[in-house]
Structure 1
Amino acid sequence: MIGSKRIRFQSQAENGAVTQLELFFDLVIVFAFTMVTDLAAHETTAQNMLRAVLVLAVMWWVWIAYSWLGNVVKADEGFTRVAMFAAMGGGLIAAITIPEAFRDLPGGWFGPLVFAIAYLVTRMIHVGVFYFASAEDPQLRGQVTRWALGSITIGTTLLVIAAMTDGRVQTILWIAAIAGDMLWTILAGEDWRVNSAGHFAERYGLIIIVALGESIVSIGIGVAGLPISWPIAVGSLLGLAIAGLLWWAYFDVAALAVEHELKRATGQRQIKIARNCYTYWHFPMIVGIIGLSLGLKKVLYYVGDTSDHTLKDALYGIPLFALYGGVVLYLIALVGFKHYATGQITVPRVVAAVALLALIPLACALPALASLTLLCAVLVVLIVWETKRYARPREEIRHGAH
């Protein structure tokens, strides 16, 4: 046990696993992902897409803060348990207010300011717990203090100011808040702690599953209230297959390879892998999956709603770019994720990403269901090729050398 007699914390063990309370905490993030997808789908304009990405970045920063905290102290023990529930409250209010994060709706509280304050409260709870939990670790205490002075000042303060503005100024302040927060995290140093590499890798693997789950939810939302038909069934199964193939691309080898490097690394090298591979490279993966969710939602609506669309209608514009571009971003982020830790570039994934970008003009001319089929086919070829081409190193990573 660490901390004073009044405030007790239990350190995360080296072989620690993700706690049930952390999974419960993630339910707020699940809801936030859904709200971001709805925000993006509500108005498919470039400005609205940018706003959706910015809101997602803010909610991501909430989540990663508590992922690092849970790796130092157990989330379900002592005072941390109470703090986690309090943080869930702040996160939930922020998630509920996502539709009003930039523009207040008539009636009720002023939405943009409520969002900013809820975010501020959630971040302050995190900093407070981290500060007290590091009482017996001067190095970590210094790191937390140094990071908090810049992160809270830049990130949260600018968001509060942005809430009182609108238009281009508001967007610029949001970008400055997020970019400043992310940049300061790099500049603040590498004196953090990774008490359990296994817990850390598992935590980020689970958030990928959460995001992929949101893509499946989007399939259901896209056809909600519509009678079942063969296009809906085929489109739903194709969407599920794409989500499954993205799961395979992450968990089959890449996640294991990086986790092994994280466990082998020590000192600042371990902290850099944890920060750069997980905190940073996972964010574009999440953005890519949310983009895929938007695209799937639109495709299923196209093929299911026969009153407004026919099966010959093509998916175009932002929804199509979200569908294909989301997968491209996910694949490129996976390449960067693995490369930083292992030094290896997974060339087939780069080729697949380039191929998908090249196929976008063709997909624009195809019916929505055909463009979805084409996307799935490219991913099937990629996964089959990798499984066969790299069978031996894959076996070694997954099951150890024989």
Structure 2
Amino acid sequence: MTTLELFFDLVFVFAFTQVTQLMANDPSVQGALRGLVLLALLWFAWCSYAWLGNQAHADEGVVRVTMVVALGTMFVVALTIPESFVDLPGGLFAPLVLAACYAVVRLVHLACYLIAAGDDVGLRHQLLLTAIPVGAACALLVIGGALGPPYQTGLWALALVVDYVGIWVAGTSGWRLTAPVHFAERHGLIVLVALGESMVAIGVGVARQPIPWAVIGASVFGIAVAVSLWWLYFDVVAHVAEGVLAQASGEQRSRLARDSYTYLHFPIVISIIFIALSLKKVLEYVSNTGDHDLTDPLTGVPLVALFGGVTVHLLGHVAFRHRNTGTWNPHRTVVAVVLAALIPVAWQLPALASLGLVAALLSGLVGYEAMKFRVARDEVRHHNADGPKEA
């Protein structure tokens, strides 16, 4: 992994923070859907460059120049996120700027990939095939950005459908994945980036507010949630998946990489951003006693983002494991179902209690897995990265 790739990811730290703030300013269903559309756009942009960096060294030649151009253009995309659906007067029309810059990021990526493909006919054919849905999606984004509301959201959502479905239909026969460990590590890093956003949300939620005991308690619960999410992914899951990907070869490896990382990591990563939104809101509830009482419940989108976000995250793990090993994870499935079922109950609980409940369930899940699968865990982590699949 190169330092330029790490530098590239810092732009997505900023972008994720911008989306979280956008949803926090409009904690409605509409705000959540807009946030989801933006996150889906950011995700495929990041994934595109993760594949490119696996084909050729990211810090050499034309790939380096492309990464720098994409980095700067994505920063402009991130800057326009607060105005992505409601443009402010006095400047450029932000929705169009975002769409145009995003199109540049995706199209420059394809052009660079064609150069990096060299004389690999199969890869060049795959890229030209992929360019069809990417080009159509970019066109829909630019048209939607130019028209603005009320057509914008629908056209951008349609662009995502064209992009995600089109790339899936295009298949994997021409893709090459020469460095599976690098690829797995890149996706592990973006999970860390999302988790970092959850930590930032905890701090931002209490900025410029007094720090009473309730804030300390909420912070501890929030950290427990973030650490649990880190543990559930990096303790064993990441090691096993990396080993399975390394053992595969040819098109089987490319297909596995597409399924497990490009698509199944989407709910794993994006759910963390929604969880970060809920952490930010809980901290605002317990710190701003002028607007909220400690007995006030967390309701609406923030509550669903907390319980539903963790549910989606755990089910993403379940699907990820099944794609890699062909087995199911019953205990994570059970906890996910319990969290979803608790949403109506939590609607009546104080916000701090709701967060504490989620933290307790996740911490209990981590403790259960650490004890029940301690032997398998030790084998995977210290002896055989593609060994036992029980954990």
- Report TM bin, short chain: over 0.9
Please tell me the residue identity of whatever aligns with 1:236: S
Shift of 1:150: 2.7
Map 1:38-117 → 2, pairs under 5 A: 38-117=21-100
Q: CA RMSD, aligned part only? A: 1.3
TM-score norm. by structure 1 comes to 0.93
Please tell me the residue identity of whatever aligns with 2:147: T
Partner residue, 1:183: 165
Partner residue, 2:156: 174
Map 1:253-402 → 2, pairs under 5 A: 253-400=236-383
- CA distance in structure 1 between the aligned counterparts of 2:199 and 2:13, rounded to whole angstroms: 12
- CA distance in structure 2 between the aligned counterparts of 1:168 and 1:113, rounded to whole angstroms: 14
Query: Structure 1 runs of 4+ off > 6 angstroms?
Result: none
Contact 2:95 2:148 in 1 (8 A): no
- The gaps in structure 1 that reach 5 residues or longer are 1-17
Shift of 1:391: 2.2
- CA distance in structure 1 between the aligned counterparts of 2:32 and 2:128, rounded to whole angstroms: 34
Pairing 1:199–2:174 present:
no
- CA distance in structure 2 between the aligned counterparts of 1:22 and 1:81, rounded to whole angstroms: 10
String of CA shifts for 1:243-287, please: whole Å, max 9, x gaps. Answer: 000001101111111111100111111111100110011111122
Please tell me the residue identity of whatever aligns with 1:175: A
Partner residue, 1:248: 231
Partner residue, 1:133: 116
- The gaps in structure 2 that reach 5 residues or longer are none
Partner residue, 1:118: 101
- CA distance in structure 1 between the aligned counterparts of 2:223 and 2:204, rounded to whole angstroms: 14
Residue 145 (structure 2) aligned to one of 163, 170, 174: 163
String of CA shifts for 1:88-145, please: whole Å, max 9, x gaps. Answer: 1110111111122223211100111101110011112111110111122111111111
Residue aligned with 2:147, SS = coil
Residue aligned with 1:365, SS = coil
Shift of 1:79: 2.1
Shift of 1:202: 0.2
Partner residue, 1:11: none
String of CA shifts for 1:218-246, please: whole Å, max 9, x gaps. Answer: 01110010012211111112111110000
- CA distance in structure 1 between the aligned counterparts of 2:11 and 2:114, rounded to whole angstroms: 24
- CA distance in structure 2 between the aligned counterparts of 1:160 and 1:143, rounded to whole angstroms: 24
Shift of 1:168: 4.8
Residue aligned with 1:97, SS = helix
- CA distance in structure 1 between the aligned counterparts of 2:132 and 2:28, rounded to whole angstroms: 36
Contact 2:28 2:300 in 1 (8 A): no
Pairing 1:27–2:1 present:
no
Please tell me the residue identity of whatever aligns with 2:142: V
String of CA shifts for 1:35-78, please: whole Å, max 9, x gaps. Answer: 11011111111111101100111111110000000001111112
- CA distance in structure 2 between the aligned counterparts of 1:52 and 1:175, rounded to whole angstroms: 11
Shift of 1:165: 2.6
- CA distance in structure 2 between the aligned counterparts of 1:63 and 1:161, rounded to whole angstroms: 22
Shift of 1:333: 0.5
- CA distance in structure 2 between the aligned counterparts of 1:122 and 1:166, rounded to whole angstroms: 21
Please tell me the residue identity of whatever aligns with 1:371: S
Identity over aligned pairs, percent:
47
- CA distance in structure 2 between the aligned counterparts of 1:33 and 1:162, rounded to whole angstroms: 22
